[in-house]
Every structure is written in C-alpha cells, then in structure tokens.
Structure 1
Amino acid sequence: MNFDQLKDQWNESETSSNEISENMLKVTEARTPIDQIRKKMKHEFFGQLISLLILVIAPKIFHFTKELTTIYILFYGIICGFMAYYFFKFYLFYKHSYDLSLDSRKNLLWFYYEMKLNLELYKALTYIVGFILLAFCAIALFTINSELLNKIFAKVSLTYIAINIIVTILLVGIITELWAKFYYGKYLKQIKKIVDSMDEE
C-alpha cells in the first residue's frame, strides 16, 4: 500500500468522523425542543384533568334543576369518553418518546410526525367537546321555564341566535388552532429544521 492511498483513507475516516459528530450535535440540539414539548404535554394533561374535575361541580355552581342535572351527567359522560381515548393516546405517545432513543434522524422524524398527529387529535377533541357543550346548552335552553324561553324569543330573533352560534364555533376553532400553534408549533419547527439539516441515513 503506498503512502497516497494511506493518506486518502485517513482523510475519508476523518471526514466521516466529522459528519458523525456534527449529526450528534444536531441530535443533542433537538433534545431541547423535545424536552420542552414533553414538559408542555405534562402541563396540558394536568390542566385538562383539572378542567374535567371543575366540570363535575358545574350543576352545583349554576344551580341546575334535577332534570337538567341528569341531562348534564349524560353529556359529561360522553365528554369523559372522548377525553379518556385522547388521554390514552396522549399517554402512549408520551411514554414511547422516553423509551425511544432519539439518536438518529429516523427517530427524530418519528417524534415530529407523531407529535403532529397528536396535535390534530387534540384539535379534533376540542371541536368535539365544543359541539357537545353547545348541544347541552341548546337542550338546557329548551328545558328551562317556557315563559322565560318565550321572552327570550320575543326579544331576540332566530337569525341572531344562529349568528351567535356560528361566531362561537368560529371562535372555538380559531382559539384551538392558535393555541396549538403557539404552545407547540415553534418547538416542532425547531425539530423539523434540525431533521432537515441532517443527512439522510
């Protein structure tokens, strides 16, 4: 083996070692936004759990009638069913993100796309819960004193009520989208940027 061949092999191994260390630096850099996402997920979980517990005492706070309380319990049970499914998916992803060794582009990509999927699930859940609560409000309106209901309809037109419902749905949608974007979005962008800058394995 001549000296030039030996020199070329040495240079190749040095380049390869530099590439590995660069990729490792990028993976280490990616851990920070991933840790931030995990932290926010934990806060989100406890926040939603507390909101569910607050919803349990809503009939007492708003002095629901016995009939309305029964209807509320039914709707609350449906909300809990949807939330339980979401919490289960949420927990599986959160737990698996710790089991997975985030030392490669492939695993970082997995985290990125799974988190995006969980965000879509989160948004869908918010819309579902929003519609369930809206349906309960509509039923509650028709189960209260009919004289009061007649007074409301005498003063307010059906068009006005329909416009209010549409505006409420739009507001729930906008708040949900903005919340997901500002709460998790910037960290997902950081991970995607790091993944894109890494070489294909």
Structure 2
Amino acid sequence: MNFDELKEQWNKQSEDNFEVNPNLNHYKSVGNILVKLRKNIKFEFISWVCAMLFLIVLPNIELYKITGYVKVIYYFLLLQLGFGSMFYYKRFYYFYKSTKQFELLTSRENLLKLYYDLKFSIETYKMSSYLLIPQGLVMFFIFFSLGHAGEWLEKIYHFSDTWHNNPSFLVFIGLGLVVSLVFLIICLELMSYYYYGKFLKMIKSNIDALDEEL
C-alpha cells in the first residue's frame, strides 16, 4: 500500500469520526434548559433564605405587635415551615447536583431519567407546599391582625357566642381565609410552573422529538 492510499484512508476515517450527530441539537437544547433550571433553583433557595430571615425578625417589628403566647405560636409555625421547606429543597439539591453530570446528555435513557427526577422533584415541591398551607394561613392571620391575634382567637374559639353577638367578624375572617387560600394556591401553581414546570415540558418535547427521529 503506497502513501496515496494511506492518505485516502486517513481522510475517509477522519470524515467518519467527525460526522455530526443529527440529534445533537436536542441534547444541546436540554443542556441549555438545565442551565436555566440550576439558576432558578439557586435563586429560589436564596430568596427562601432571605424570606426566612425576615420572618424570624418580623415579630420584633413594632407594626405587627406579635407578643405573648401568639409569638410562641408564630415561631412554632415558622419552625414547621422551615423544616417542611427543607424536605423539598433536599430533593432539588440532589437534582441540582445531578444536572452537572455530562453523562445526562449522552443518551435518550439518561434524558428520561433526568425528566422523571425533575418531575418527582416538582411533585414533592407542590405536595410539601400544599401541606404547609395551613401554617401559612395562620401566619397570615397573625400578620394582619396587627396585635389583635389573641383577641380574635378567643372570639373564634367561642364560635357560637361570637356568631350571635358579632357575626360580621366571623364572615370577615372566613372571607379573609378564603382569599388568602386562593392567593397561596395561585402563587404556588404559578411559581411551580414558571420556575420548573415549563422546563419539564421542554425536556419532554425534546425527548419526543428524539423518539420521532429514531
């Protein structure tokens, strides 16, 4: 075999090795999605830490007048809120670490694993958040009572007497709870979708496109 034949085989082999994978764009798209997801996870966690620090300090702000046994209830609820939140942030932490692995973008099977890991993390996020809604509602009640939480709790405890003497108060509290509940649910659904849910759909669409091209 002469030099020209060797050169021809080398060129042919080089062309074969550098052939572009037709599915590369889909893996690249998922890679870009993961970058955005990591930013969202980091941003939300930092926001959560700042919010928790504010809530710890809040009872000492004169405006809210949170004192006595109401202050004890407040911190007990805040403790539950903190531990409950850490449950789903633990899931996102593992997901965050796993997205830095390059191997995730090397096969369809790895993309499927990534998809279901994210889906499970989002479901954990929503489930934990819904379980924490009662604590959130009571904390809202304490915030906006502006020092009247103890008095209002007494009226609620003696429901029948309050209903006969001051029914408008119970109607006001009931409407406030309903509005607060709707507000919390809307915020939860919007946050879960715009921070994570829409990216889950993007990953799924790339997986579906890969299936069509196979």
Q: Please, which of 86, 89, 103 is the counterpart of residue 88 of structure 2?
A: 86
Relative contact order higher in (CA < 8 Å, ≥ 6 apart): 1
- How many equivalent pairs are there? 186
Q: How far apart in 2 are the matches of 1:77 and 1:178?
A: 25
Gaps of 5+ in 2: 1-15, 156-161
Kindly state the Cα deviation for residue 190 of structure 1 after the two structures are TM-superposed. 2.0
Q: How far apart in 1 are the matches of 2:68 and 2:171?
A: 31
Q: Residues 114-164 of structure 1: CA distance to partner in whole angstroms, max 9, x if unpaired?
A: 112212222223323331122345579685247x967xx737242343233
Superposition pairs of residues 27-176 of structure 1, within 5 angstroms:
27-61=27-61, 62-99=64-101, 101-102=103-104, 103-136=106-139, 144-145=150-151, 154=166, 156-176=168-188
Kindly state the Cα deviation for residue 50 of structure 1 after the two structures are TM-superposed. 1.0
Gaps of 5+ in 1: 1-13
The TM-score with structure 1 as length reference comes to 0.76
Q: How far apart in 2 are the matches of 1:121 and 1:171?
A: 20
Q: How far apart in 2 are the matches of 1:109 and 1:197?
A: 13
Q: How far apart in 1 are the matches of 2:28 and 2:149?
A: 58
Q: How far apart in 1 are the matches of 2:38 and 2:149?
A: 43
Alignment RMSD: 3.3
The TM-score with structure 2 as length reference comes to 0.72
Aligned residues of 2:108 and 2:210 also touching (Cα < 8 A): yes
Q: Give the equivalent residue in structure 1 for 2:12.
A: none
Kindly state the Cα deviation for residue 46 of structure 1 after the two structures are TM-superposed. 0.8
Aligned residues of 1:127 and 1:172 also touching (Cα < 8 A): no
Q: How far apart in 2 are the matches of 1:71 and 1:192?
A: 44
Aligned residues of 1:37 and 1:187 also touching (Cα < 8 A): yes
Q: Which runs of 4+ in 1 moved over 4 A?
A: 136-143
Q: How far apart in 1 are the matches of 2:26 and 2:140?
A: 50
Q: Residues 12-45 of structure 1: CA distance to partner in whole angstroms, max 9, x if unpaired?
A: xx8xx97x70123321222111111111111111
Superposition pairs of residues 186-197 of structure 1, within 5 angstroms:
186-197=198-209
Q: Residues 90-133 of structure 1: CA distance to partner in whole angstroms, max 9, x if unpaired?
A: 21121122236121111112222211221222222332333112
Q: How far apart in 1 are the matches of 2:151 and 2:30?
A: 58
Structure 1 letter corresponding to 2:114? F
